[in-house]
Structure 1
Amino acid sequence: MLRIRNNPNLNICPDYASEVFDNIRAQLVNENTTEIQAMQLLRNIWEANNNAVKDEEREEQRQRLDKEEQERLNQERIDEEEVARKEERKKNKHKFIPILEAGIPDDPANTPCSYALKKLDKGDYVELWYFTNDGLDEANLKKTVDDDTMILSTLANGSMAWVSSASTRSARAVVNDENLPFEEFCQACPRFLKAVEEVDWPEDRVQMMARFWMNIQVHEFRALRDPLAQKALLVYQAEQRRSWHAAAKSSVGPYNISIVNEKVLKATRDRVYWEDRNKRDNEQDYKVSVY
Structure 2
Amino acid sequence: MARIARNPDLDLCPDFAGPIFRTARDAITTADPNKTTDNVVADFTAAWQADWDIQKAAWDAQEAADQAARDTTAQAASDEAARKQAELDAEAAAEKREADKKKPKLNDFDSTKGVGDSIAPRPSSFALRKLERFEYVELWYFTREGCTDAAASAASKTINEDALALAKLDDFVGLRPAASFSASKNVVKDNDLSWEQLLFAKNSMLEHMAALSWPDKHVSSLADFWYSLETHPSRSLLHGDRIVLTYQAEVRIEWHERLKGNKGFNIAFINDNLMRRASDKIWDSVRDAVSSLHRSPSLI
Shared fold per TM-score greater than 0.5: yes
Question: Do the aligned partners of 1:148 and 1:166 also contact (CA within 8 Å) in 2?
Answer: no
Cα distance, 1:164 vs. partner? 5.2
Residue 272 of structure 1 is matched in structure 2 by: 281
Distance in structure 1 (CA, Å) of the matches to 2:157 and 2:263: 33
> CA 1:204/1:49 → structure 2, altered by over 3 Å: closer, same or farther?
farther
Residue 198 of structure 1 is matched in structure 2 by: 211
Distance in structure 2 (CA, Å) of the matches to 1:247 and 1:65: 60
Task: Please list, as runs of the form range in 1=range in 2, the aligned pairs for 1:254-265 lying within 5 A after superposition.
Answer: 255-262=264-271, 265=274
RMSD: 3.5
Residue 115 of structure 1 is matched in structure 2 by: 126
Structure 2 residues without counterparts, runs of 5 or longer: 1-44, 164-177
Task: Please list, as runs of the form range in 1=range in 2, the aligned pairs for 1:49-64 lying within 5 A after superposition.
Answer: 49-64=64-79
Question: Do the aligned partners of 1:212 and 1:258 also contact (CA within 8 Å) in 2?
Answer: yes
Q: What amino acid maps onto 2:109 in structure 1?
A: I
Q: Secondary structure of the residue that 1:143 maps to in structure 2?
A: helix
Question: Do the aligned partners of 2:225 and 2:270 also contact (CA within 8 Å) in 1?
Answer: no
Residue 253 of structure 1 is matched in structure 2 by: 262
> CA 1:286/1:193 → structure 2, altered by over 3 Å: closer, same or farther?
same
Higher mean alpha-carbon deviation, 39-48 vs 51-60, is at 39-48
Task: Please list, as runs of the form range in 1=range in 2, the aligned pairs for 1:220-235 lying within 5 A after superposition.
Answer: 220-222=233-235, 224-228=236-240, 230-235=241-246
* Residue of 110, 122, 125 corresponding to 1:100: 110
Residue 156 of structure 2 is matched in structure 1 by: 145
When the two structures are superposed, what TM-score results if normalisation uses the length of structure 1?
Answer: 0.66
Task: Please list, as runs of the form range in 1=range in 2, the aligned pairs for 1:163-182 lying within 5 A after superposition.
Answer: 167=182, 170-171=184-185, 173-182=186-195
> CA 1:234/1:138 → structure 2, altered by over 3 Å: closer, same or farther?
same
Question: Do the aligned partners of 2:124 and 2:150 also contact (CA within 8 Å) in 1?
Answer: yes
Question: Do the aligned partners of 2:242 and 2:282 also contact (CA within 8 Å) in 1?
Answer: no
Cα distance, 1:99 vs. partner? 1.7
Q: Secondary structure of the residue that 2:108 maps to in structure 1?
A: coil
Question: Do the aligned partners of 1:112 and 1:131 also contact (CA within 8 Å) in 2?
Answer: yes
Q: What amino acid maps onto 1:265 in structure 2?
A: L
Q: Kindly, what percent of the aligned residue pairs are identical?
A: 24
Distance in structure 2 (CA, Å) of the matches to 1:129 and 1:57: 77
Residue by residue over 1:1-20, the C-alpha shift from the partner in whole angstroms, topping out at 9 and shown as x without a partner, is xxxxxxxxxxxxxxxxxxxx
Q: What amino acid maps onto 1:174 in structure 2?
A: V
> CA 1:68/1:235 → structure 2, altered by over 3 Å: closer, same or farther?
farther
Question: Do the aligned partners of 1:111 and 1:136 also contact (CA within 8 Å) in 2?
Answer: yes
Distance in structure 2 (CA, Å) of the matches to 1:270 and 1:227: 8
Cα distance, 1:74 vs. partner? 2.5
Corresponding residue pairs, total: 239
Q: What amino acid maps onto 1:140 in structure 2?
A: A
Residue by residue over 1:125-161, the C-alpha shift from the partner in whole angstroms, topping out at 9 and shown as x without a partner, is 22111211222222333332225348xxxxxxxxxxx
Q: What amino acid maps onto 1:111 in structure 2?
A: R
Q: Secondary structure of the residue that 2:156 maps to in structure 1?
A: coil
Q: What amino acid maps onto 1:70 in structure 2?
A: Q
Q: What amino acid maps onto 1:68 in structure 2?
A: R
Residue 81 of structure 1 is matched in structure 2 by: 96
Q: What amino acid maps onto 1:245 in structure 2?
A: H
Cα distance, 1:185 vs. partner? 0.3
Residue 63 of structure 2 is matched in structure 1 by: 48
Distance in structure 2 (CA, Å) of the matches to 1:140 and 1:42: 93
Q: What amino acid maps onto 2:268 in structure 1?
A: I
Question: Do the aligned partners of 1:245 and 1:254 also contact (CA within 8 Å) in 2?
Answer: no
Q: Does 1:187 align with 2:197?
A: no
Q: Secondary structure of the residue that 2:182 maps to in structure 1?
A: helix
Q: Which has the larger radius of gyration?
A: 2
Residue 29 of structure 2 is matched in structure 1 by: none
Residue 167 of structure 2 is matched in structure 1 by: none
> CA 1:68/1:266 → structure 2, altered by over 3 Å: closer, same or farther?
same
When the two structures are superposed, what TM-score results if normalisation uses the length of structure 2?
Answer: 0.64
> CA 1:209/1:100 → structure 2, altered by over 3 Å: closer, same or farther?
farther
Question: Do the aligned partners of 1:215 and 1:258 also contact (CA within 8 Å) in 2?
Answer: no
Residue by residue over 1:234-257, the C-alpha shift from the partner in whole angstroms, topping out at 9 and shown as x without a partner, is 2222223223334444xx137244
Residue 243 of structure 1 is matched in structure 2 by: 254
